[in-house]
Chains A and B, each alone.
Chain A
Amino acid sequence: DAKTTQPNSMESNEEEPVHLPCNHSTISGTDYIHWYRQLPSQGPEYVIHGLTSNVNNRMASLAIAEDRKSSTLILHRATLRDAAVYYCILKGQNFVFGPGTRLSVLP
C-alpha cells in the first residue's frame, strides 16, 4: 500500500477554516484517498473519501490535486469537537494508517 505524508500537528482557531494537507506521491491509479479522524479513547471514524474529483459531505470537503499526488481535507468552520487526530489513507488492498495530524482547535 502506498504511503502518505502529513504534518505531525496543526492548530486552528474556533470557527475558522482548516486545511489539512496530505502528500501521496506514489499513489496508483486505483487507490482511493480516505480520511478518518480519531477522538481520544475512541476508534477512528470515517470522514470522507474520493478518487479523482473533489468531494463534499456534511462533515468536510476533500480537494484532490489534478495529478492526485496530494490532497487537502477542508473543515469549513472548526469547532472544539473537531480536535482529533486526522489520518489520510490510500485505500489499496488494505487500510494502512500513518501517524496522522493532531489538530488542536483553540477557543
Chain B
Amino acid sequence: SQTIHQWPATLVQPVGSPLSLECTVEGTSNPNLYWYRQAAGRGLQLLFYSVGIGQISSEVPQNLSASRPQDRQFILSSKKLLLSDSGFYLCAWSGGVGYEKLFFGSGTQLSVL
C-alpha cells in the first residue's frame, strides 16, 4: 500500500534561518507531488507541484523553493525564513489511473519567531 511520510511534525525557527522540509512517498512510482501551506484559520494554498524528477512548477511567488531529487522525494526549502512563512505545511501525492485522489501527509507546523 502507498504511504506518505512528512517530517518534522513541528518546527520552531528564528527569522532569517534556513528551512528544509522533506516528504517521501512509498509504494508507488512516478507520483505527482504537491506542497501546500495553510495559515492559521485559512484555506490551503498550493505552493509547488511536480510531475517528475527535476520538474517543479511554482504557483505563488514567494520566499520558498522546492526540489525533487528522486522520484518519490519532495523537498521544500528556504534560504532565509520570514515571519510570514509561519503556517501548516502539507505534502501530498496523487497518481495515475485509479489513483486520481490526493493523499496528504500529516503536516509540519512551522513557527517562525
Contacts and interface: CB of A to CB of B under 8 A. Distances in A.
Q: Name, among B102, B106, B109, the residue most crowded by chain A CB atoms within 10 Å (CB to CB).
A: B102
B46 A97 contact: yes
Interface in B72-106: 88, 90, 92, 94, 100-106
Contacts of A45: 104
Interface residues of B, number: 22
A22 to B, nearest CB: 14
A21 interface: no
B46 A94 contact: yes
A34 B102 contact: yes
Q: Say what secondary structure dominates the interface of chain A.
A: loop
Interface range, A side: 10 to 19
Given A94-B49, A95-B94, A97-B36, A44 B101 contact: no
B15 interface: no
A77 B98 CA distance: 28
Contact of A43 (B45, B46, B92, B101): B92
Interface of B: 34, 36, 42-46, 49, 59, 88, 90, 92, 94, 100-107, 109
